[in-house]
């Protein structure tokens, strides 16, 4: 393992300083460091951030390796500046046992590009009728602390209450996919005037908001932790804000695509814009940006959802829900939040590194500040760069990128995982 010294980086976008790494640890931070024997990295003009942590990633393995594998997904994550991702449970077989979550966890470690923390299923087979082996997954080598049936809602209130009660024993959290199923049967896009105009079955905001409100009350009732996945409506923001005002232990995430894209894109009938929850109105986009800025929404999570070509390049009604997000997340956040003055780079580090690591209780030094003695999870980002996104330029096995053709600001120049470079000059490195 080589030692590195990063020269003249803007730490969290502020002070210009050097940063030295050795043995997987940050050994020195300060101007003009004396670092003999270290590989020198010129970071003039670049922003240094702690390694990003994604609380919501679909890696598809096991079962759908045609769409993504743990290796390909973590390579995409490294290119996006992530050093830890949380792999959702809707695999085949479902990650509802200690054996499956340990398999996913080990595959991440073997790849060496990004730590993979499995998310365990709440219910057996995501079936919504019987609790999965929550305790066994928590006690496994993967030490699961986040549980979600993402892709499906835990719609049974009694079962949701039991899950919230169960995870209290090991400080776990239930990450809810807030979608009342009976209000969204056959739904294809956001419900409104546009859905009527386009002749597509509408997906009402109330279907999300009803579950968010119910689960906030349930979490408060049992004194447990609730995390709201991919919050997308103004009403959901207001409900979470209300819950937090009462001191309830509720956190929430927003995706990059819900920060930028609106349902107007559905006019094209291009299934690249078909996602769950659906793209919402410009007013909803404004509301989630406000919520992220004022801390009502705690984190940005990608909901990276790769699909093979045949599942997306078809008629709208038959297409799968989901979009890629790992490699573009930081650029979208810069565009929507930093360049608009809504967030500083220090606040980006909080919402994309520290807070997700705190919510998931993940170890390994993830989410920690860039300080002496901390694990050397480091990202260098060039905020002055611009790029036109192309679907082909991706480490993912899939190409369902909703930003293809858009010009976005910023570029991840380098990523280190425990002091090992996974990306240099924007290119993936060999890690093993």
Active site residues: 303
Q: What angle do CA 400, 401, 402 make, to 5 degrees?
A: 115
Burial class (CB in 10 A: 0-12, 13-18, 19+), 369: middle
Instruction: Say whether 58 counts as a known binding-site residue.
Output: yes
56 is in an annotated binding site: yes
Concatenated DSSP letters of 154-170: ---HHHHHHHHHHHGGG
Q: Are strands 115-118 and 82-87 parallel, antiparallel or unpaired?
A: parallel
- In sequence order, the β-bridge partners of residue 18 are 30
Coil, helix or strand at residue 72: helix
Any binding-site annotation on 190?
no
- The alpha carbons of the chain give a radius of gyration, in whole angstroms, of 21
Asked if residue 322 belongs to a known ligand binding site, the reply is yes
The residues pairing with 194 across neighbouring beta strands, listed in sequence order, are none
38 among annotated binding-site residues: no
- Alpha-carbon distance of 23 to 232, in angstroms, equals 42
User: Whose CA is closest to 58, among 384, 302, 241, 291?
Assistant: 302
Q: Exposed/middle/buried for 243, CB within 10 Å: 0-12, 13-18, 19+?
A: buried
User: Would you say 60 is a known binding-site residue?
Assistant: yes
**Which pair of structure tokens corresponds to residue 162?**
């039991």
18 is annotated as contributing to ligand binding: no
Q: DSSP letters of 327-394?
A: TTHHHHHIIIIITTTS--HHHHHIIIIIHHHHHHT--TTTT--S-TTSB--EEEEEEEEEEE--TTS-
Dihedral of alpha carbons 221, 223, 228, 234, sign: positive
Q: Is 227 annotated as a binding-site member?
A: no
Instruction: Quote the CA–CA distance of 35 and 28 in Å, as a whole number.
Output: 9
Instruction: Confirm if 154 and 160 have CB atoms less than 8 A apart.
Output: yes
Known binding residue 307? Answer is yes
- Residue 411 annotated as binding site: no
Which DSSP state fits 46? P
User: Is residue 249 marked as binding?
Assistant: no
Query: What is the number of alpha carbons within 13 Å of residue 295 lying toward its C-beta?
Result: 6
List binding-site positions for substrate: 58-60, 90, 276, 307, 321-322
List binding-site positions: 56, 58-60, 90, 150, 177, 230, 276, 303, 307, 321-322
List binding-site positions for Zn(2+): 56, 58, 150, 177, 230, 303
């Amino acid at each position: 393992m080589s030692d590195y010294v990063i020269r003249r980086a803007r730490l969290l976008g502020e002070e210009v300083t050097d940063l030295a790494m050795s043995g997987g640890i940050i050994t020195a931070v300060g101007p003009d460091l004396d670092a003999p024997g270290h590989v020198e990295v010129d970071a003039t003009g670049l922003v240094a951030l702690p390694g990003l942590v994604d609380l919501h990633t679909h890696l598809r393995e096991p079962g759908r390796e045609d769409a993504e594998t743990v290796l390909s997904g973590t390579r995409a994550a490294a290119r996006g500046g992530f050093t830890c991702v949380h792999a959702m449970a809707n695999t085949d077989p479902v990650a509802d046992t200690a054996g499956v979550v340990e398999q996913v966890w080990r595959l991440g470690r073997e790849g060496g590009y990004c730590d993979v923390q499995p998310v365990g299923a709440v219910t057996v087979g995501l079936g919504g009728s019987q609790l999965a082996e929550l305790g066994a997954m928590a006690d496994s080598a993967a030490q699961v602390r986040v549980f979600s049936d993402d892709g499906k809602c835990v719609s049974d209130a009694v079962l949701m209450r039991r899950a919230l009660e169960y995870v209290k024993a090991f400080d776990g959290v239930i990450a809810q996919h807030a979608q009342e199923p009976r209000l969204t049967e056959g739904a294809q896009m956001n419900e409104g005037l546009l859905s009527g105009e386009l002749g597509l079955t509408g997906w009402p905001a109330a279907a999300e908001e009803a579950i968010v409100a119910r689960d906030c009350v349930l979490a408060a009732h049992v004194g447990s932790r609730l995390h709201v996945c991919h919050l997308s409506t103004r009403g959901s923001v207001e409900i979470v804000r209300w819950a937090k005002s009462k001191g309830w232990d509720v956190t929430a995430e927003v995706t990059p695509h819900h920060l930028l894209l609106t349902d107007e894109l559905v006019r094209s009938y291009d299934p690249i814009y078909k996602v769950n929850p659906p793209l919402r109105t410009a007013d909803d986009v404004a509301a989630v940006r406000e919520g992220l800025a004022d801390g009502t929404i705690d984190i940005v999570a990608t909901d990276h959802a790769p699909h093979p070509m045949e599942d997306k390049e078809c008629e709208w009604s038959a297409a799968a829900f989901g979009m890629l997000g790992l490699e573009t997340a930081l650029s979208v956040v810069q565009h929507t939040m930093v360049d608009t003055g809504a967030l500083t780079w220090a606040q980006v580090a909080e919402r994309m590194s520290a807070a997700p690591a705190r919510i998931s209780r993940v170890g390994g030094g993830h989410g920690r500040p860039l300080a002496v003695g901390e694990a050397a999870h480091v990202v260098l980002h060039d905020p002055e760069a611009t790029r036109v996104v192309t679907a082909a330029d991706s480490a993912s096995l899939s190409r369902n990128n909703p930003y293809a053709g858009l010009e976005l600001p910023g570029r991840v120049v380098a990523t280190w995982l425990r002091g090992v470079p996974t990306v240099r000059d924007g290119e993936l490195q060999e890690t093993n």
